[in-house]
Amino acid sequence: MNVPAERVGRPAYSGQVPEFPYSRLRRWPDVEAENLQAHDATDRLLVDRGVALAAERRIGGEQIAVIGDEYGAITLALTDAGFRGIRVHQDLATGRRALARNAEELGVEGFASHELDGGLLADARLVLLQLPKALAELEEIADAVARWAAPDAVLVAGGRVKHMTLAQNEVIGRSFGLVQPQRAERKSRLIVASEPREVPERPPFPVAATHDGVTIVAHGGAFAGARLDIGTRVLLDALGLSGADSFATRTGNGAARRSTDAADGRSRTVLDLGCGTGALAVSYARAHPDARVIATDRSAAAVASARATVEANEVADRVDVTHDDAASEIPDGSVDVVLLNPPFHLGTSVHTGAATRLFEASARVLRPEGELYTVFNSSLGYRAELGRLVGATEQLHRTPKFTVTRSIRRP
C-alpha cells in the first residue's frame, strides 16, 4: 500500500495540509471569466477531510477515488500531498483536459482517469465527491460506490450550501446505511456516508422511454433524462422529424426537411452538437438513411446515453458518438448541417458563454453555405449573435416559449 510515510501512524489529523497553489489552476478549455474560478471552498474542504480520513484510517492513494473533480483541484492537491495512484472520474471532456493541463503546468503526476465504473471504484476505501446538480446523477454515483467500492468505504460528498437540498441526503441514504451531514464551513458542507447497503442486481441507470417511436436511453447525468425536452421537440417539429403532424408538414413548405436532404448525390454529414441522449441525431438518421451523422457532447454521461440510444434505435452503422469539447476534433468546413439545442446554464450560474462557444464551433465546422438549425428560449434573443458568428439567420418557427432559426454559413 502506498501510504505517504509522513502520514502513516499519525495519532490524529493535525489540520495541516501542505499548501497547494490552488490559484494557479485554470478552467481552460472551459469558459474562463473573472467571476468563474477553477476551484472552490468545497474542493478545499474535501481535500482537508480526505487527508484527515486517510491518515486516521491508513488509506493510501490507490484506495482513493475522486468523482466530479471539475478542473482537477482535488486530485492534484492530494497527489501533490503525496497520495499516489488516485483514481479520478470527471464527466466533462473540458474538465479532463483542464486536469491534464493543470497537472502538466504544476508538474504533478501519479493519478489515473477512469469512467464511472468498477475500474474507478474497485477496492476504494475513500471516495471524495463534488455533489452533482442532478439527483439522478447523484443516485447513479451513490449506487456505483456502494456497488463497487470496498465494504468499509466512506463516501465524502461536498457542495456549496446554497445548492444543497435534503433530497441529496435521501438519495445517498438509498445506498448507504449511515449518512451524516457536517456543519457548514466557508459556505460549503460535507456529507459523510458509510456502511454501503446491499445493491439491487441491476443499477438504477440507464433508464429508457419511447417517444414517437424513438427510444431514448439516459444515464443519470444526461440532460432531460429519458424525456424528450420541449425545446428538442420544437426543433424536431420544425425540421419535420417529429412525425406526420409536424410543423413542417402542416405549413406545407417542408423547407427545413427538404433543405437538409441530400441533393447532389453525396451523403451529407450532419452534426448533432451537444447531443445529450442523442434524440436529434437518431431522429435525423432514421429520416435520412443516406446521411452520415455525428453526435458529440462534452459530458461522458451524455455520450454513454447517446451510444445506448443509437443502439436501441438500430442506427449504429450511421451514427458516430464522440466525447469532445465543442466539436474540437471535427475538421473545419467538413459538415453540411449542424443541429443544436444549446445549453444556457453554465454549472449553476446563468452564463451565455457556453452557447456562444457552440455557435462559434458551428461556424468553424460548417462548410460555406452549410446550415445551422438552432432552438432556444425566445427570451435569449440569440438571433443577432448567430447572424454575426455564423451568417444570415432567419426565424423558421416560433412557439410561445421557443424560437427555431436557420443560419446559413457565410462563404
Ligand X SMILES: C[S@@+](CC[C@H](N)C(=O)[O-])C[C@H]1O[C@@H](n2cnc3c(N)ncnc32)[C@H](O)[C@@H]1O
Give the binding site for ligand X (CB under 6 A).
Answer: 223-224, 229, 232, 274-277, 279-280, 297-299, 302, 325-326, 341, 343, 354, 357
Q: Minimum distance between the CB of residue 265 and ligand X, rounded to whole angstroms?
A: 29
d(CA 85, CA 129) in angstroms, rounded, equals: 17
- Kindly tell me which of 23 and 379 has the beta carbon lying closer to ligand X: 379
Q: Minimum distance between the CB of residue 80 and ligand X, rounded to whole angstroms?
A: 28
Q: Minimum distance between the CB of residue 159 and ligand X, rounded to whole angstroms?
A: 20
Q: Sheet containing 188-196: which strands, arranged edge to edge?
A: 111-113, 86-89, 64-67, 126-130, 154-160, 188-196, 176-181
Q: Minimum distance between the CB of residue 297 and ligand X, rounded to whole angstroms?
A: 4
- Kindly tell me which of 299 and 405 has the beta carbon lying closer to ligand X: 299
> What sign results for the dihedral spanned by CA atoms 78, 191, 183, 167?
positive
Note whether 383 and 403 are within 8 A (CB). yes
Map grid coordinates 444556457 to a residue: 344
Q: Minimum distance between the CB of residue 233 and ligand X, rounded to whole angstroms?
A: 9
Q: Minimum distance between the CB of residue 397 and ligand X, rounded to whole angstroms?
A: 15
Q: What angle do CA 55, 59, 64 make, to 5 degrees?
A: 120
- Kindly tell me which of 79 and 283 has the beta carbon lying closer to ligand X: 283
296 CB neighbour count, 10 Å cutoff? 27
- Kindly tell me which of 127 and 326 has the beta carbon lying closer to ligand X: 326
Q: What is the grid cell recorded at 145?
A: 460506490
d(CA 235, CA 398) in angstroms, rounded, equals: 10
Ranges of H-type helices in 58-92: 73-80
- Kindly tell me which of 204 and 343 has the beta carbon lying closer to ligand X: 343
Note whether 271 and 335 are within 8 A (CB). yes
Q: Any idea what DSSP says for residue 134?
A: S
Q: What is Dmax (Cα atoms) for the chain?
A: 78
Q: Minimum distance between the CB of residue 331 and ligand X, rounded to whole angstroms?
A: 16
d(CA 92, CA 243) in angstroms, rounded, equals: 33
Note whether 69 and 88 are within 8 A (CB). yes
d(CA 167, CA 172) in angstroms, rounded, equals: 9
- Kindly tell me which of 38 and 275 has the beta carbon lying closer to ligand X: 275
Map grid coordinates 436529434 to a residue: 280
- Kindly tell me which of 208 and 224 has the beta carbon lying closer to ligand X: 224
Q: Minimum distance between the CB of residue 277 and ligand X, rounded to whole angstroms?
A: 6
> What sign results for the dihedral spanned by CA atoms 300, 371, 374, 346?
positive
Give the relative orientation of helices 279-287 and 230-238 as an angle to the nearest 10 degrees: 20
Note whether 382 and 349 are within 8 A (CB). no
Q: Minimum distance between the CB of residue 136 and ligand X, rounded to whole angstroms?
A: 14
- Kindly tell me which of 154 and 326 has the beta carbon lying closer to ligand X: 326
- Kindly tell me which of 99 and 354 has the beta carbon lying closer to ligand X: 354
